[in-house]
Amino acid sequence: MAIVIRRLEGHHEVENFDCADDALNNYLQRHAWTNQEKISIGVSYVAVDEGAPRTVLGYFTLAMASVPRDAFPKKYVRGLPPYDVPLILLARLAVDRRFAGRGLGHALISEALRLSLRVADEVGCRCIITDAYRDRVSWYSRYGFVPIEGAAESGPQRMFLDVRTVRAALRR
């Protein structure tokens, strides 16, 4: 099986995608294409097998955001650059359960981080943010994401990865 990661296209088959999480299945099946092509609030990339390049085995979604400087608590503003803080949101990442355990998650996050670095190099970006399910926090931590404190305990854990860390990894 030779996995390739492509930008989501209209011909990709997403109907049977099943990562055992309704919200993530639903996003890919109902919203990812519309959000990408019509209202432009996220770009999705899919993992496919080169031998069956229409069937989606996993995906992730990226978007850009920023935090206005004046949104930060005043005592922290002094230490920040005098601009809004641009960031990339890794909004979704999921692997079809039938293909779990084959390194697809690693392939997807690798590509997501490479794309993020390209965006950072081209338009500027300070960090990568993701909202991780609580049981996936340790998986993201392996890649250097650190928890952002202050999230509701019942919801996902917001996590942070410095673009400089990703850039340093590329140089190793």
Dig out the tokens for 80 from the structure.
């920040």
Following DSSP, what letter does each residue of 151-164 receive, concatenated?
--TTSPEEEEEEHH
**CA separation (Å) from 64 to 19, 67, 99, 147?**
25, 11, 29, 19
- CA dihedral for 82, 78, 156, 125, sign (positive or negative): positive
* Catalytic one of 27, 45, 59, 140: 140
Alpha-carbon span 93 to 71, nearest angstrom = 28
Please, what is the minimum distance in Å from the beta carbon of residue 28 to other proteins? Answer: 17
Alpha-carbon span 145 to 142, nearest angstrom = 7
Q: Of these, 11, 76, 135, 138, which contacts other proteins (CB under 8 A)?
A: 76
Active site annotation includes 133: no
Nearer to other proteins, 85 or 137 (CB): 85
Interaction of residue 82 with other proteins, rule CB under 8 A? no
Alpha-carbon span 162 to 66, nearest angstrom = 14
The 122-151 contact track toward other proteins, x by CB under 8 A, reads xx--xx-x------------xxx-x-xxxx
Residues 83-102 that bind other proteins (CB under 8 A): 85, 88-89, 91
Dig out the tokens for 93 from the structure.
């990442």
Residues that bind other proteins (CB under 8 A): 6-7, 36, 40-43, 62-67, 71-73, 76-77, 79-80, 85, 88-89, 91, 106-107, 109-110, 113-115, 118-119, 122-123, 126-127, 129, 142-144, 146, 148-152, 158, 160, 162-166, 168-170, 172
